[in-house]
């Protein structure tokens, strides 16, 4: 069994988080105008999630997307998760909401 349950935060159910809005926030957070435009174009209309994966993969920013998702899920948990930091490999995104 898991020790130190106090070190973990229960994440919300999939239904409690709007994945499209997370994807949209990620698109608009990009400083590179060309990348931002490609991502925004990719999520327009039906098949947005499928089309979003291609430019993410091509630009090698899969970890960035995963970190943003993790941060949004923690924020939505409402469990007092206001000073968490997530990391994957050498990338990290602070969670300070």
Angle at 55 between CA 31 and CA 40, to 5 degrees: 55
Q: Is pLDDT of 83 > 60?
A: no
Q: How many residues does the chain have?
A: 97
Q: Where are the domains of the chain?
A: 17-94
Give the model's pLDDT for residue 2: 61
Q: What is the pTM of this model?
A: 0.64
Is residue 40 a contact partner of residue 27, using CB atoms and an 8 Å limit?
Answer: yes
**45-to-40, 41, 42, 57, 91 alpha-carbon distances in Å:** 10, 9, 8, 20, 30
Instruction: Examine the pLDDT at 12 and tell me if it is beyond 70.
Output: no
* pLDDT at 24 (0 to 100): 93
């Amino acid at each position: 069994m898991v020790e130190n349950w106090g070190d973990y935060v229960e994440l919300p159910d999939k239904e409690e988080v709007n994945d499209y809005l997370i994807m949209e926030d990620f698109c608009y957070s990009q400083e590179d105008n060309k990348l931002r435009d490609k991502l925004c174009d990719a999520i327009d209309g039906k098949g947005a999630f499928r089309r979003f994966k291609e430019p993410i993969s091509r630009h090698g920013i899969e970890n960035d997307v995963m970190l943003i998702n993790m941060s949004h899920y923690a924020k939505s948990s409402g469990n007092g998760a206001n000073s968490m930091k997530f990391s994957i490999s050498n990338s990290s995104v602070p969670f300070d909401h």
